Structure 1
Amino acid sequence: MDRDDTTLRVLSTSDLAGLDISLADVLDTVEQAYRTLAAGQSDNPRKLTVKPADGHSVSYAMLGRDGVRNVVAVKTSYKHGLRESRENQHYYTTLTIYDDVTGLPVAMMDCSRIGSLRTPAVSALLARECAAPGAATALVIGTGTQGRLALPFLLTALPKLERLLLSGTHPDGIAAVRAELARHFPERGIDLVTDLEAAARDADVIVATAGGHTPAAVEADWLKPGAVSILVGHGLAPSTLHRADRVIATSEAQMRVTGTDMADADGNLPAVDLELPVVISGASSARTAPEQRIFAYNSGLVVTDIALGHRFAQLAAAQGLGTEVALWR
């Protein structure tokens, strides 16, 4: 079917699963999205959030524009059963991209794989920019979707890491983390830790990706001088934020929307010193002294989803993947 203004390429979960993309390609794509945003060439408005009073679900809508790729996109995200175990939750996320040069639709796709790659890539960029010189030990807390690629991305961004630690309790998740590391870095191993405090005291980089039901909560007193703690999901106590020497966030506005569980007794969050796009651009440094303990907040910016989603759409089109739907006829 010829592409026109009535047809849309729909990319399913299985379509995207078959696409091969390197970790370095993902990192480069996400980093370029941040540079473009910092240069004022892209738009990333604040996300819209809807959550019922009883908190059983949450929905997000995000609109953005990538000024280098010249595309506009809308991402939606819906999760149901927040108080249920992971296997009983329902989660749907989609990305719809339009070409802002031709005015034609590019693709609509399941956004789950994009998120599963984008989020650990952002954590790795935060680690690269915030880690103290000579950082050698990384600790990942959690073995869910975000935890499984955290270590491969960290090693891609910080190849001199010497020791890799994992804190997790689910056997299948632990096996999946080991399998992903073996797939990307077969020569590297993981030490599974049972004493979280001892592991945190050793770690130069901590990435907390655990789910909301985790009992894990690293305290500020456990952090060594120069440590960077990166919050993706759960696993860090609020003290790591409130007592940090520096606070870096992908977006301060997003942090104030989605980071309320880290607020103090008065419901306050500390000010953010720098946002990641500014750091990536080279205009300012995340770390100004080697002994600083840095807290970094990883929340999604839709411009990174757009850039990575567009990259996937290009790869899929080159391979003839997806289904053309005459949506507007």
Structure 2
Amino acid sequence: MTDTSAADGIPISGDPKSLRVLSTTDLAGIDISLADVVATVEGAYRTLHAGQSDNPRKLTVKPQDGHSVSYAMLGRDGSRNVVAIKTSYKHGLDKGREEQHYYTALTIYDDTTGLPVAMMDCSRIGSLRTPAVSALLARECAAPGARSALVIGTGTQGRLALPFLLTTLPNLDRLMVFGTHPDGIATVREQLRVHFPDRDIEIVTDVRAAASDADVIVATAGDHTPAAIEAEWLKPGALSVLVGHGLAPSTLHRADRVIATSEAQMNVTGTDMADDDGKLPAVDSEFPPVLAGITAGRLSSTERIFAYNSGLVVTDIALGHHFAQLAIAQGLGTEVPLWQ
């Protein structure tokens, strides 16, 4: 027996004791455009702002020595009528990137039928969702006529940062990258050419000089990066988006305007940007009302804006559900009798 999701009529398992599991390999073969990802993520923000979705603050567990960190995020997407929980666990934060372990999963339930939809590896979802949010922040908060972008870091979140930026800001004509891993730099170039074959990156080594020329800076690096861009390096009108590391706290505390995807989450996960008293400044606006046109992304062309990009689980849910729909339609995944 099968049932269909109320969101779009995609068949789902009708056995309440079974769960469809979508592996990394299952999701890797699904073709989806960058524009589709951006639209899906934007829709999740708009639904949240409309009061139709729920996005409670994430729970965090971290041992005293800081060698690992774990997150749990529960949410509900009101437009898709689905409930989901995402878990994230990273081990080896005190070690090099090669020795670290990272696992993240998303489990989705259809809140109309009451049946499970799927459990999936969430790594590809996150690798797409986060740069899509940065690109939306850039679209709404970059100075008019922005032409140059600098990406700090070449890891998972840095590799698609430029393709997504070009999706929302197609007039960017100078694409700079700072990274310390040759393989990562090569992957950034490769990913850009996959989506924009006629474009190439400019590899920079002088972070200060590059930052002073950049209209948009997206900092995605790990915590071992030597980059720490200071506020005084930024040109008037610059937008700095923090995803990982690469920006010094001064870029936040001396910003003319502060935007956060979630102020509550910034206060939980952004403590490394606190001042000497351990405090973070209040945000001028969260991002959902900016997207909805209720508040302004920027008030003048010369404002230096700091944007904090912390993932909201409703965006994972929307994109994860979209992937699940595509996967189920293609017959991907494995039905597991989990509750038998």
Structure 2: distance between partners of 1:194 and 1:95: 38
1:63-102 correspondence to structure 2 within 5 Å: 63-102=74-113
Which letter maps to 1:11? L
Q: Which residue of the other structure, out of 125, 133, 157, is the alignment partner of 1:122?
A: 133
Task: Give the aligned partner of residue 315 of structure 2.
Answer: 304
Shift of 1:172: 0.1
Q: Does 1:176 align with 2:187?
A: yes
- 2-side partners of 1:284 and 1:120: how far apart? 22
Aligned: 1:135 with 2:157: no
Residue of structure 2 equivalent to 1:270: 281
Q: Deviations over 1:114-142 (max 9, x none)?
A: 00000000110111111000000000010
Q: What secondary structure, in the 3-state scheme, does the structure 2 residue paired with 1:147 have?
A: coil
State the Cα deviation string for residues 173-229 of structure 1 (Å, max 9, x = none). 000000000000000111111111110000000000011001100000000000000
Whether 1:153 and 2:164 are equivalent positions in the alignment is: yes
1:260 equivalenced with 2:281 (yes/no): no
Instruction: Quote the Cα distance in structure 2 between the aligned partners of 1:84 and 1:298.
Output: 25
Amino acid at match of 1:97: I
The one-letter code of the counterpart of 1:15 is D
Pairwise CA distance, 1:166: 0.6
Partner residue of 1:319 out of 306, 330, 335:
330
Q: Residue 29 of structure 1 aligns to which amino acid in structure 2?
A: T
Structure 2 partner of 1:36: 47
Quote how far apart the aligned CAs of 1:87 are.
1.2
Give the total of aligned pairs. 329
Query: Alignment partner of 1:207: what SS?
Result: strand
276-285 vs 315-324, which deviates more? 276-285
Q: CA deviation at 1:14?
A: 0.4
User: Given residue 60 of structure 1, which amino acid in structure 2 is its aligned partner?
Assistant: Y
In structure 2, what is the equivalent of residue 293 of structure 1?
304
Cα shift readout 1:232-279 (whole Å, capped 9, x = no counterpart)? 000000000000000000000000000000000000000001111111
Q: CA deviation at 1:231?
A: 0.3
Amino acid at match of 2:248: A
Normalized against structure 1, the TM-score is what? 0.99
Unaligned runs of 5+ in 2: 3-12
Q: Secondary structure, in 3 states, of the residue corresponding to 1:40?
A: coil
Corresponding residue for 2:206?
195
Matched residues in 2 for 1:10 and 1:55: separation? 31
For 2:243 and 2:59, locate their aligned partners in 1 and report how far apart those are by CA, in whole Å.
19
Question: How big is the shift at 1:162?
Answer: 1.1
Q: Please report the TM-score for the alignment, with normalisation by the length of structure 2.
A: 0.96
Q: How far apart in 2 are the matches of 1:84 and 1:256?
A: 25
Which of 243, 246, 250 in structure 1 is aligned with 2:257? Answer: 246
SS of residue in 2 equivalent to 1:119: helix
List structure 1 segments (4+ residues) > 2 angstroms apart after TM superposition.
none
CA distance, structure 1, for counterparts of residue 152 and residue 104 of structure 2 = 24
2:213 counterpart letter in structure 1: D
In structure 2, the partner of 1:17 is: 28
The aligned counterpart of 2:247 is: 236
The code of the aligned residue for 2:276 comes to A
Secondary structure at 1:188's aligned position in 2? coil
Letter in 1 for 2:86: K
Q: Give the SS at the match of 1:68.
A: coil
Q: Distance in 1 between matches of 2:254 and 2:50?
A: 31
Shift of the alpha carbon at 1:284? 1.1
Q: How far apart in 1 are the matches of 2:43 and 2:324?
A: 17
Distance between the aligned counterparts of 2:181 and 2:93, measured in 1?
A: 19
* Equivalent-residue separation in structure 2 for 1:152 and 1:292 (angstroms): 25
Inter-partner Cα distance in structure 2 for 1:102 and 1:315: 19
Residue identity opposite 2:275 in structure 1: D
Provide the C-alpha distance between the structure 1 equivalents of 2:152 and 2:168, rounded to a whole number of angstroms. 18
CA positional deviation for 1:305: 0.2
In 2, distance between residues paired with 1:54 and 1:190?
38
Q: CA deviation at 1:7?
A: 1.1
Residue 16 of structure 2 aligns with which residue?
5
The Cα RMSD (Å) is: 0.7
